[in-house]
Amino acid sequence: MKRKLSILAVCAVVLAAGSLALAQDNPFVGTWKMNVAASKFEPGPPPQSQSRTWNADGSVNITGVNAAGKTAGYGYTINGDGKEYPVSGSIPNGSDKISSKKVGANKMTASFTKAGKVVESTTFTVSKDGKTLEIVAKGILPDGKTLNNDTKWDKQ
């Protein structure tokens, strides 16, 4: 009986270590704070602040204070599998779904859609040292204005 418990304990430790290693292998996982001064927003104005938490399961939660000083938040799943997932909250591009593809160890692309039509194409790139996330987004906003943002994020 002791031997079975020992084997079970070892298996649990190995599985836990494997999950931790998987999260560490994903350079996107973690909390990121936007460097507003280094970011470009077209059209502006930029948000006052924003942070995002990217989880090992691909869920991303974004919170912050918009240009008008109001708290805002939204989220989506981006894990590079090419499947569509719903978005939640007040996403600025007005989309209702997102799909993403992994195009390199530190790079993913995503398409945000509204009623089946692409409203934004985005590239997420983590620097080789893992300290900076760049998000380049191009599309059309709900008011018809062209979106062309290049945001920089610092790992926390």
Domain ranges of the chain: 2-155
For domain 2-155, give the CATH number.
2.40.128.120
The reported pTM is 0.83
Is 44:36 a contact under the CB 8 Å cutoff? no
pLDDT tens digit sequence for 72-85: 999 999 999 999 99
Cβ neighbors of 72 (< 8 A, separation 6 or more) are: 47, 63, 64, 65, 66, 89, 90
Split at pLDDT 50, 70, 90, the class of 53 is very high
- Which is more confident, 3 or 144? 144
The torsion angles phi and psi of 32, rounded to 5 degrees, stand at: -125, 135
15 has pLDDT over 50: no
- Which is more confident, 54 or 19? 54
